[in-house]
Amino acid sequence: MIYTGGTIGMFKDLKTGSLVPFDFSQLIKNIPELQLIDKKIDTISFEQPIDSSNIRPHHWVLLADMIEEHYDNYDGFVILHGSDTMAYTASALSFMLENLSKPVILTGSQLPIGDLRTDAKENIITSIQIAGSYDGDVPVVPEVGIYFEFKLLRGNRTVKASSEHFNAFDSPNYLPLAQSGVDLKFYKSRILSVPDGIFNVHKVLEENVIVLKIHPAITEAYLSHIVNLTGVKAIILETYGSGNAPIQDWFINLLKMAIEEKSIHIINITQCQKGRIVPDKYETGRRLMSIGVYNGKDLTTEAALTKMMYLLGKKLSKKAIKSAFERPLRGEMD
C-alpha cells in the first residue's frame, strides 16, 4: 500500500481550520481493521504526503518507480491518493505501466479517516481485497483501477464527478469492473486480460501538452497566443457535442497553421460528460478532421492528456503518434 496523501489522511489544522495531510503512521493507527485482513500488507509513503491538487508528473514517475521496484514481491498494489486528481494519476499510470499483470488500485475518501462518518475504511479494505484477488495464479484485475464507494472503475475511463457525494467518481463511457455489495462481484468480461508481453515501465512524459476548452466567446487573439506559445507539442481540444467547433476562417486557419507549420498534434475530444466524437456528423466536426485533427473518440480529458504525454515521451514519428493515439492501448477508448 502506497500512501501519497489526500483527504483520507488529513486532519484539521487548528489555526486555519483547513484540512492538511498528516503522516502515514497516524493513518494506519486509525485502521485497526487492517490487522484482520488475511493478507500481508506492507506500506510505503511519499516522504511528504500531499493534497493531490499539488500532484505533478514527477510524482507519477515516483509511483511508477515504487511499483517497478516492488513489482515481483507483491500480488497487487493499493495507492491512497486524494480524489481531486486521482483520475489523472490513474490514467497516467495506466499508460506508464505497459503489460501490467497485477492489480494497481487507487482509492481515497471524501472524509478523513478520523471522521466518525468516514468513507475511508470501506474504500481501503475493499481495495486491498481487490488488489489481492486471484483465480489461482491469475489476478482478477490486471489493470489500473479506481475503487470508490462500492464501485471499481477502469482508471483511464474515470472522472471525478462530485465534490460532495461519497460516490465521487464516474466512468461515463465504460461500465464498472466490479461492484461491492454483500459480495464483491467482478464483471470479468469488462476487465482486461493478462497481457502477453514483459512488464515495462515508461518514465518519460512530455509536459508541453495543453488542454483547451472551446466556448462561444473564444477569441482569435487567445487561440493565436496558445498555438504560438513556445514549446507546445500537443493541444487537447475539448469540443462541443460529437466533436464540433467553429468553422470561422480564423479558427480553422490557426489550427491548420499549428498542425502544418509547428507540427503540433491536435486532438478532438468532447466536452460532454458522456459520448464520443463522430467526425462526419456535422460540417463543424468534419472541418476539424479535414485539417488533420486526431479523433479522440470517447476518451476522457484525463486519459487524452496523459496518453499524449506518454506517446510524446516515446519520441515516435508524427505518423506513429497519430496511429497509436487513435487506437486503444490500455482499454481507454472503444
Select the residue interacting with ligand ASP from 1, 2, 3, 7 (CB under 6 A): 7
Quick one: angle between helices 249-262 and 283-290, nearest 10? 20
The residue at minimum Cβ distance from ligand ASP is 82
* Minimum separation from the CB atom of position 142 to ligand ASP (A): 26
Cβ nearer to ligand ASP, comparing 82 with 103: 82
* Minimum separation from the CB atom of position 253 to ligand ASP (A): 40
- C-beta neighbour count of 53 within 10 angstroms: 10
Told to check if 6 binds ligand ASP by CB under 6 A, we report yes
Residues 33-92 that bind ligand ASP (CB under 6 A): 51-53, 82-84
Told to check if 162 binds ligand ASP by CB under 6 A, we report no
One symbol per residue from 98 to 117: x for binding ligand ASP (CB under 6 A), - otherwise; what is it?
----------x-x-------
The footprint of ligand ASP on this chain (CB under 6 A) covers a number of residues equal to: 11
Query: Is 85 a residue of the active site?
Result: no
Q: Is 247 within 8 Å of 287 (Cβ atoms)?
A: yes
Cβ nearer to ligand ASP, comparing 5 with 139: 5
- C-beta neighbour count of 292 within 10 angstroms: 15
Cβ nearer to ligand ASP, comparing 123 with 126: 123
Told to check if 9 binds ligand ASP by CB under 6 A, we report no
Going from the C-alpha of 222 to that of each of 117, 226, 236, the distances in angstroms are 46, 6, 15
Kindly report the three-state secondary structure assignment for every residue of 269-332.
Answer: EECCCCCCCCCCCCHHHHHHHHCCCEECCCCCHHHHHHHHHHHHHCCCCHHHHHHHHCCCCCCC
Q: What is the DSSP letter of 111?
A: S
Cβ nearer to ligand ASP, comparing 16 with 230: 16
Residue 275, C-alpha cell as written in the block: 459520448
Choose, from 4, 7, 118, 306, the residue flagged as catalytic: 7
Told to check if 26 binds ligand ASP by CB under 6 A, we report no
Cβ nearer to ligand ASP, comparing 108 with 132: 108
Q: In what order do the strands lie in the sheet with 184-186?
A: 44-50, 2-5, 77-80, 104-107, 144-148, 151-154, 178-180, 184-186
What are the catalytic residues? Answer: 7
- The footprint of ligand ASP (CB under 6 A) covers 5-7, 51-53, 82-84, 108, 110
